[in-house]
Structure 1
Amino acid sequence: MIRQEQMTVIKQQQIADTIFELTLEGDIARGMAAPGQFVHVRVADSFEPLLRRPISVASIDTENGQFTMIYRAEGRGTTLLAEKKPGDKLDVLGPLGNGFPLAEAGKKAFLIGGGIGVPPLYELAKQLNARGVETVHILGFEGKQAVFYEEEFRSLGETHIATVDGSHGTEGFVTHILNGLPKDFDTYFACGPTAMLDALQRALEEKKGFLSYEQRMGCGIGACFACVCRTTKNELDYVKVCSDGPVFPAGVVIS
C-alpha cells in the first residue's frame, strides 16, 4: 500500500564519486516487498525544488523498518538530499511501481546493471539467493572511482565489473563481459541507461528478460503522464513507467 510519511534518516555516507547511500526508517519500509520498486522523496521543506525525486530501493529491512537508497548527487535536488544527517526527517511517498518478478528455485539468473541502475539489483539478488536461485552479476561503471557495492554483490554470487575507461575490471561495457560468458542462464534482469537496455535486448533476444527503465517523472503515481513510453503493441499504445513499471518484460517498451 502506498503511504506518505515523514521518515527518519538513520545513516548517510558517500560510497563512491558523487554516489551516496542513505538509510531511512519508518512504516513505509515495513510494507516493502518487491525488489525494483522506488520511492518519491521531497528533498526540502520549501517549494524549491518543487518536484519530488524518484529513487530506487537498494535494500529492504522490514524487521527493523528500514530501507536503503543509493543515488547520485548531480543536481539541485539530490545535492540537497546529500546534506541530510542522521535524525533528519524526509517526506517520502512509497513504495511505488511494479518491481521484478522472482525466478524459481534452481534457476540461474543474470543481473545486469549500469551506473545508478545497479542499486535495485542488490535487493533482487538477495531475494533470488534466498529462493535458491543462482545469480551472476554484471555491473558497469564509468571508472574505478564510480564503482560501488562490488563486495556486496560478490558475497551473493559470481560478479563481473566493467568500466568505460578500463581503470577497474574489464574495459568497456557490460555487453563486452556478456559476450564472453556462456549463455547458460534462464532469465536476465537489467536496470540502467536506455542505450544499455536496448543493446541487451538485441544481444539476448532469445532469452526471457525483465528491464527496469529510468525515466523523468512528475507525480510518480501515474497521474501526470510525464513518463509515458510507446510499446510494441501498436503505435497508439503507451505505458507509464512510474505506475505500469518501472519493470517491464523485455521487448515491450520502445525507447
Structure 2
Amino acid sequence: MIKKEWMEVQSISKIAKQIYEIELQGDLVKEIKAPGQFVHVKVGNGFSPLLRRPISICDFDQEASTMKLLFRSEGKGTKLLSEVKKGSKIDVLGPLGNGFSLETLNEGDTALIVGGGIGVPPLYGLARRLVERGVNVVVVLGFATEEVVFYEDKFKELGDTIVTTVDGTYGEKGFVTDGIRKNDWHYDAIFACGPTQMLKALTSKYPDERGYLSLEERMGCGIGACFACVCRAEEGYRKVCSDGPVFPIGEVIL
C-alpha cells in the first residue's frame, strides 16, 4: 500500500563527491515489498521545487522501520535534501513501483549484479537479500572517476566485486561491459541498474541473458497518472514509475 508520511531523519552523511546517504524512519517502510522499489521525496517547504524527487530505496529494515536512500546532489532539489539535519522530518510518498523478483534464482545459483553510477544503490538491497536466500553474487560497479566511487566495501562483503572507472583512476579502466568480459564468471541471471546507455550496451552484448533491468527516468507524479516517464516496449508502451522501474530483460526497448 502506498503511504504519504513525514519520516524522521536518523542520519545523513556525504559518502563520495556529491553522493549522500540518508536514513529515514517511519511506518512506510513496512509496506516495502521488494528491493528495487523507490520513494517520491518532497524537498523544501514551499512550492519550489514543485515536483517530488524519485529516489531508489538502497536498503531497508522493516523491524526497525528504517530505510536508506542514496542520492546525488546536483540540482536545487537534491541540494536542499543534502542540507537536512538529523531529527528533522521529510515528506515521503511510497513505496512506489515494482522491484526485483527474488524468486528468479534458487539457492546455489549465481547472480551477476551490474550497477552504474547512481544506479548502484537499489542493487545493494537486492544483493543482500539474494545472499540471505543462499544465492551467490558477483558484482561489477561502474563509475566515471575515483572521486565518485561508493559502496565498494559493502558489496565486497557479499561477493566478488570489481569496480571500473571510465578514466581509469580507480579499479579497472573502462565500462562495466569491459569488467564482465575480463572476469570469466559463470552466472545464471543478470540484475542491472544504471544509465540507459549502459543498459543498452549490456543487453546488446548479452542479448539472450535471463534477468532484470531497472530503468532511470525523469518522473512527474510517480504513480502512473502523468505519463511523463513512458518508454516503448515490445508491445505498446510502459510507464517506468508504475509498470517498472524493474523490467525483465527484453520487455522494453532501450
TM range (shorter): over 0.9
Q: Superposition pairs for residues 28-67 of structure 1, below 5 Å?
A: 28-67=28-67
Structure 1 distance, partners of 2:175, 2:64, is: 37
Instruction: Map 1:144-183 onto structure 2 (within 5 A).
Output: 144-183=146-185
Using the TM superposition, give the Cα deviation of residue 75 of structure 1 relative to its aligned residue in structure 2, in angstroms. 0.4
Q: Which residue of 2 aligns with 1:193?
A: 195
Structure 1's consecutive aligned runs of 4 or more residues displaced over 6 angstroms after TM superposition are none
Deviation at 1:181, TM superposition (A): 2.3
CA drift at 1:63: 1.0
**Structure 1: unaligned runs, 5 residues or longer:** none
| Distance in 2 of aligned mates of 1:163 and 1:246 | 25
1:244 aligns with 2:243: yes
Residue 248 of structure 2 aligns to which amino acid in structure 1? P
Q: Write the letter of the residue equivalent to 2:201.
A: A
Aligned to 1:222: 224
Question: TM-score scaled to structure 1, two decimals?
Answer: 0.97
Match of 1:25 in 2: 25
Partner AA of 1:123 in structure 2: G
User: Counterpart amino acid of 2:40?
Assistant: H
Q: Which residue of 2 aligns with 1:10?
A: 10
C-alpha distance in structure 2 between counterparts of 1:211 and 1:197, whole Å: 7
Displacement of 1:209: 1.8
In 1, Cα distance between the equivalents of 2:121 and 2:234? Answer: 28
Q: Which moved more, 1:27-36 or 1:88-97?
A: 27-36
Deviation per residue, 1:162-195 (Å, 9 max, x gap): 0111111000110111112225110000000000
What residue identity is the alignment partner of 2:166?
A: V
Question: Which deviations, in whole Å up to 9, do the C-alpha atoms of 1:86-135 show, x marking residues without a partner?
Answer: 01110000000000011221110000000000000000000000000000
TM-score (norm 2): 0.98
- C-alpha distance in 2 between matches for 1:185 and 1:122: 18
Count of paired positions: 252
Which residue in 2 is equivalent to 1:212?
214
Q: Deviations over 1:138-178 (max 9, x none)?
A: 00011110000110000000001001111110001101111
Q: Which residue of 2 aligns with 1:114?
A: 116
Q: Distance between the aligned counterparts of 2:206 and 2:132, measured in 1?
A: 26
State the one-letter code of the partner of 1:128. L
The aligned counterpart of 2:107 is 105
Long gaps (5+) in structure 2: none
What is the rounded CA distance, in whole Å, between the counterparts of 1:145 and 1:182 in structure 2? 28
SS in structure 2 at match of 1:253: coil
Structure 1 SS opposite 2:50: coil
Report the RMSD for the aligned CA atoms in angstroms: 0.8
Structure-1 separation of matches of 2:246 and 2:31: 19
